[in-house]
Amino acid sequence: MIVASNLTKRYPGGYEAVRDVSFDISAGQMVLIGGHSGAGKTTLVKLIASIERPTSGSLVVNGQNLAALRRSAIPYVRRHFGLIFQDQKLLFDRSALDNVLLPLQIAGLSRRDAVRRAQAALDKVGLLAREKANPIALSGGEQQRLAIARAVVNRPTVLLADEPTANLDVDSARDILDLFADFNRVGVTVVVATHDQSWIERCHPNVLRLDHGRLV
């Protein structure tokens, strides 16, 4: 499903965030990308999500080599992923429901179908009662759950998260972990970059550990 071969990302100035990394993630797996700060976890997530382009090597997702992809094809590849960030990247000028509607509008769903699906996603993360609330009025844990609802509403094949529990208290982090485990149980591939060890204890994922950009 996600196959990396000799993947390298070098930034202008020569800094290599990811060096010669190879791995193979099968469909339905839960994979944790671990490592200390600056190990290259976030860069690897960005490479998988096509937010960054590899300097060399290949990265094949669902049979498509992302390194050789035309720029215009990238948005369609991103739609296979549900992306979740540490800072959630929510839009604070609209309601929780409208935040979740955005991927469906991009996909071109009719308003009625989109609202139905967005409400189902909000229900799944326990936020249906707060669909009209502005994200600013939500707690950190709720904001992260809202970000998850936005990530899963388009029924992605891969959930890709970067430090999704970093800023959360223990209880909220556990809720998020459970949500990821739930989605993984129904066949969604989950790739999480985190240094939170509770993931290993609770979800027993496969672990890719990075150190200074290299897989160890």
Partner 1 sequence: MSAWLSQHRAALASAFRRLFVAPMSTVLSLLVIGIALTLPAFGYVLLDNLRDLGSRASGVKQISVFMDLGASRKEVGEIEGRLRQAAGLGWRFVPREEALKRLQQTEGMAEIVASLPRNPLPDAFIVEPQDTEPAALEALGKELASWPKVAHVQLDSAWVKRFDAFLRLGRLALMMLAGLFAAGLVAVTFNTIRLQVMAQAAEIEVARMIGATDAFIRRPFLYYGALQGAFGGLLAAGLMLGGLQLLAGPVGELAALYGTAFALQAPATSGAVVLAAGGALLGWFGAQLSVSLSLRKFD
Pick the piece of the chain touching partner 1 (CB under 8 A) from 13-21, 105-113, 121-129, 182-190: 105-113
Q: Which is nearer to partner 1, 4 or 45 (CB)?
A: 45
Q: Counting contacts by CB under 8 A, is residue 37 touching partner 1?
A: no
Q: Counting contacts by CB under 8 A, is residue 111 touching partner 1?
A: yes
Q: Counting contacts by CB under 8 A, is residue 132 touching partner 1?
A: no
In the block, tokens 């976030």 appear at 42
Picking from 143, 134, 151, 35, the residue whose alpha carbon sits closest to that of residue 92 is: 134
Among residues 26, 56, 105, 198, the one that binds partner 1 under rule CB under 8 A: 105
Among residues 108, 129, 170, 171, the one that binds partner 1 under rule CB under 8 A: 108
Q: Which is nearer to partner 1, 52 or 131 (CB)?
A: 52
Q: Which is nearer to partner 1, 154 or 184 (CB)?
A: 154
Among residues 11, 36, 68, 91, the one that binds partner 1 under rule CB under 8 A: 91
Q: Counting contacts by CB under 8 A, is residue 137 touching partner 1?
A: no
Among residues 27, 68, 106, 200, the one that binds partner 1 under rule CB under 8 A: 106
CA gap 120, 193 in Å, rounded: 27
Q: How far is the CB of 162 from partner 1 (least distance, A)?
A: 11
Q: How far is the CB of 94 from partner 1 (least distance, A)?
A: 9
Q: Counting contacts by CB under 8 A, is residue 17 touching partner 1?
A: no
Q: What is the 3-state secondary structure of the chain?
A: CEEEEEEEEECCCCCEEEEEEEEEECCCCEEEEECCCCCCHHHHHHHHCCCCCCCEEEEEECCEEHHHCCHHHHHHHHCCEEEECCCCCCCCCCCHHHHHHHHHHHHCCCHHHHHHHHHHHHHHCCCHHHCCCCHHHCCHHHHHHHHHHHHHCCCCCEEEEECCCCCCCHHHHHHHHHHHHHHHHCCCEEEEECCCCHHHHHHCCEEEEEECCEEC
Pick the piece of the chain touching partner 1 (CB under 8 A) from 28-36, 76-84, 180-188, 201-209: 76-84
CA gap 165, 175 in Å, rounded: 10
Q: List interacting residues with partner 1 (CB under 8 A).
A: 49, 51, 72, 75-79, 83, 89-91, 93, 102-103, 105-111, 150-151, 154
